[in-house]
Amino acid sequence: MTTHRMAAIAGLVALLAITVALARCSNDPAPGAESAPPAAAGSGTAGDAPAMGPDDGKEAFELTPALLQAYAKGLRKEVEIIRRPGRGTHYGVTISKYGEEGPEVVAASGLSHEQYRAVGEVVDRIFTTLNFQGKIGPARSIDLERAPEWKQRLAGDPFDELSPASAKALREHMDILVPPWSEIIRMTAQSG
């Protein structure tokens, strides 16, 4: 074999070894460490990452007062970021692990990235429905001829999508969630 071919094979073997090692690291605890038991759903612990169902829009976890209070802190940080001089208010904050703004919001909330996004998806779905129903501001409308799937959502109570405990928690925290959520919608609304 030529030296060039042997170097290529050695490179492939090294790449394969790295891939296998990375796969094992992501599934195995550190040597000598025990696996942490999964957190109870909605417990608010660091390992508690709420999950959404695939396409049903239904909640697969419980919204708790602690999760909602933390999420409200993140929403207030989003408002602060959007208002920064020179930033522009025509777009919101992208909650991503990358960039500067998303991690700043998540850190302010005290939640994990996954928790913040999952709580946000549920709250935003409920609040968007309430908003289009005219129950929370700012005023927005929807063309039901172009979006017929909204007819049923707008006809019902969006809190019915939640478990009774989650619906109760969300209703009890509307006073700290609706103002920053509405401010974000107001600042980022596109005219047209």
Q: What is the pLDDT of residues 13-43, one digit of tens each?
A: 444 444 333 333 333 344 443 333 333 333 3
Where are any strands of DSSP class E within the chain? none
93 touches 101 (CB < 8 A): yes
Q: Read off the pLDDT of each residue in 120-125 and give the average, rounded to a whole number.
A: 95
Bridge partners of residue 59, in order along the sequence: 52
When pLDDT is cut at 50, 70 and 90, the band that residue 157 belongs to is very high
Q: Which residues contact 121 (CB under 8 A, 6 or more apart)?
A: 52
Torsion of CA 112, 41, 162, 117, to 10 degrees: 10
When pLDDT is cut at 50, 70 and 90, the band that residue 57 belongs to is very low
In this predicted structure, what is the pLDDT of residue 141?
Answer: 83
Residue 5 has pLDDT above 80, yes or no: no
Name the residue ranges covered by the structural domains of the chain.
1-35, 41-188
Q: Which of 51-60, 85-94, 102-111 has the highest mean pLDDT?
A: 102-111
When pLDDT is cut at 50, 70 and 90, the band that residue 158 belongs to is very high
Q: Read off the pLDDT of each residue in 75-96 and give the average, rounded to a whole number.
A: 88
Identify how many contiguous H helices and E strands the chain contains and give both numbers: 7, 0
Q: Read off the pLDDT of each residue in 83-110 and give the average, rounded to a whole number.
A: 88
The residue ranking higher by pLDDT, 55 or 80, is: 80
CA distance 70 to 101: 17
When pLDDT is cut at 50, 70 and 90, the band that residue 1 belongs to is low
Share of the chain above pLDDT 70, in %: 67
Phi-psi region of 167 (alpha: psi -120 to 50; beta: other; left: phi over 0): alpha
pTM of the model: 0.68
Torsion of CA 168, 165, 103, 94, to 10 degrees: -70
Share of the chain above pLDDT 90, in %: 44
When pLDDT is cut at 50, 70 and 90, the band that residue 59 belongs to is very low
Exposure class string for 46-65: b at 16+ Cβ within 10 A, else e: eebbbebeeeeeebebbbbe
In this predicted structure, what is the pLDDT of residue 190?
Answer: 60
Q: What average pLDDT is seen over the chain? A: 75
